[in-house]
Amino acid sequence: MEFLKTYPDPRLDVYLGSAEHIRRALETLNHSRPDAVVSGIPFSTMPAEVGRKILHEIWSCRLPGGRFVAYQLMRRVTFLAPLLLGDPQVRLELRIVPPLRVYAWRKPA
Ligand SMILES: C[S@@+](CC[C@H](N)C(=O)[O-])C[C@H]1O[C@@H](n2cnc3c(N)ncnc32)[C@H](O)[C@@H]1O
């Protein structure tokens, strides 16, 4: 965490906390309207209610036309809130070890 804060790139803001509170984190960092949320957190191993809460938080981040991208080992993220997110675009990324599936959703504008 402290190392990341010293990383010399003005585009990087660092915040430590659970993605369950992503809206609060974004407001704290003055990024309350992100174009995209990219996540590698393990939706397959967390309790379903925590995963659903995170997906609702991400979806309500006011992302009109914005994207949510999750790279995952397991497909569980697609089952947690299908009515909210709809069907994702799915791509297998072989350049990651182990290969992961990349799920991408776009929120209607
Ligand atoms: C498999 S590691 C992936 C690390 C990194 N994102 C990557 O792709 O290399 C999963 C990470 O998700 C984080 N994580 C798990 N649950 C989380 C949550 N509710 N909110 C934020 N991060 C979480 C863990 O702390 C861990 O660092």
Mean per-residue pLDDT of the chain: 94
All domains in the chain, ordered by first residue: 2-106 (3.40.50.150)
Distance of CA 83 from the midpoint of ligand 1 (Å): 25
* SS3 state of residue 36: strand
pLDDT band at 64 (very low <50, low <70, confident <90, very high): confident
Does residue 33 register a pLDDT over 90?
A: no
Q: Do 13 and 29 touch, CB atoms closer than 8 A?
A: yes
pLDDT at 56: 96
In whole angstroms, what is the distance from residue 72 CA to residue 37 CA?
14
Nearest ligand 1 atom to the CA of 20 is 19
Distance of CA 18 from the midpoint of ligand 1 (Å): 9
Block residue for tokens 């776009």: 106
Proportion of the chain above pLDDT 90, given as a percent: 85
Instruction: Give the pTM.
Output: 0.92
Residue 19, ligand 1, Cβ within 6 A: yes
> In this structure, what token pair is assigned to residue 46?
């967390």
Task: List the residue whose alpha carbon is closest to atom 9 of ligand 1.
Answer: 40
